[in-house]
Amino acid sequence: GAVVSQHPSWVICKSGTSVKIECRSLDFQATTMFWYRQFPKQSLMLMATSNEGSKATYEQGVEKDKFLINHASLTLSTLTVTSAHPEDSSFYICSASTSGIQYEQYFGPGTRLTVT
């Protein structure tokens, strides 16, 4: 149980275009989803927290207009990187939680974004 999927697993896009990443909880309802970013050999950095049906809460320094997060249902959250640039190239990982309890976050396999 507690499986989280992400799609796509890998995407290449041209600079200036937008790309959408989906995060799904497959066998449970996720009231809270978290989006992280991970650079090579660096740790996961929390970008935003989203609760179903409400606006996402962004961490300091994360541009909300660039990283659009939508949590439209209890099993799906999307992250859209708008007007992507090479510096947005990274590994994006989501996690999902039924309760928001710290240790009950289940992580997706991640999406590798490369912007050329």
Partner 1 sequence: QKEVEQDPGPLSVPEGAIVSLNCTYSNSAFQYFMWYRQYSRKGPELLMYTYSSGNKEDGRFTAQVDKSSKYISLFIRDSQPSDSATYLCAMSAGGGTSYGKLTFGQGTILTVHP
| Residues of this chain that bind partner 1 (CB under 8 A) | 4, 6, 32, 34, 41-46, 49, 91, 93, 95, 97, 100-103, 105-110, 112
Q: Which is nearer to partner 1, 42 or 83 (CB)?
A: 42
The secondary structure element, H or E, covering residue 23 is strand 19-25
Q: Are 67 and 47 in contact (CB under 8 A)?
A: yes
User: Smallest distance from the beta carbon of 52 to partner 1, in angstroms?
Assistant: 14
Angle (nearest 5°) at CA 102 between 19 and 35: 5
User: Smallest distance from the beta carbon of 113 to partner 1, in angstroms?
Assistant: 13
Q: Which is nearer to partner 1, 54 or 103 (CB)?
A: 103
The closest of 28, 58, 42, 50 to 94, measured between CA atoms, is: 50
Q: Which is nearer to partner 1, 81 or 108 (CB)?
A: 108
